[in-house]
Amino acid sequence: MPTAARRSSPVVAIDGPSGAGKSSVSRGVAKALGYRYLDTGAMYRAVTWWMLRHDVDIHDAAQVAAHAALPQIETGTNPANPTITVDGLDVSGPIRGRDVTAAVSPVAAVPAVRARLVEIQRQAIGNGDIVVEGRDIGSVVVPDAELKVYLTAAPEARAARRTAELSDPAIAADEVSLHTTLHTTKESLLHRDSIDSSRSTSPLTRAEGAVEVDSTDMSLNEVVEHVVALFRSRVSAGATS
Ligand code: C5P
């Protein structure tokens, strides 16, 4: 895989497990810094959506690899309005469905899929001024990112946040359904984390030089402020001194 191109402006890399709040934090940080934003998870989801739509057996790595070059993925980088299309179709809704969520980790483990998406990601990153979120941004996509954050949270907190995002009011009002949903969501997050962390190509890992931020007991605003403060002390201060 080619190495990252030289840039003139900073990149903030935010990696971490599912449900740690990467998307909300990354968008908040991008808005605060006036930066662009790239959601690489959405790209893996978009490829997965395409594979399911074209009846590719997602558990057959050779079949997934043979189709890896076909989906045409385009992603917008405006943090106020992130967009993602496959073959010109807006898939921002469908890629969040349960079927895609259940299938994405095996697809993302296929090296041919990763090589293709990393290339598109590096093109989108271009000269920098961007916050990029994913699993391998600080370790593989932009190993020389000016700020690398590894965002974590306890599994219970991650499941609670995901459930709140997904839940309809009927589930939230019923204690037994809420408990079942929380349990299923937690199991699904942990299952995805285990595939993402154990794959041989670009596993989820805390990159060298990454600052670990545990968001379990922090509000979204607190995490955004914390990351922006890290950026100001490590990157903007460094640029002017
Ligand atoms: O971030 P999100 O939960 O949308 O990511 C969906 C999946 O995409 C992850 O579980 C992981 O399998 C894959 N992914 C990845 N590398 C990235 C971003 C996401 O493997 N940089």
Kindly report, residue by residue over 148-185, the tens digit of the pLDDT: 999 999 999 999 888 887 656 665 667 777 788 888 88
Please report, for the domain that includes residue 139, its CATH number: 3.40.50.300
Give the separation between CA 21 and CA 216, rounded to whole angstroms.
10
CB of 71 closer than 6 A to ligand 1? no
Count of structural domains within the chain: 1
* 3-state DSSP percent of the chain in helix, strand and coil, to 5: 55, 15, 35
pTM exceeding the 0.85 threshold for the entire prediction: yes
Minimum-distance ligand 1 atom for the alpha carbon of 195: 12
Under 8 Å CB-to-CB from 92, ≥6 apart: which residues?
A: 42, 82, 83, 84
> CA dist 67 to 44, 103, 191, Å?
14, 15, 25
Overall average pLDDT of the 41-68 stretch: 98
Does 134 reside within a domain?
A: yes
**Nearest CA residue ID for atom 6, ligand 1:** 41
Residue 64's domain comprises: 11-240
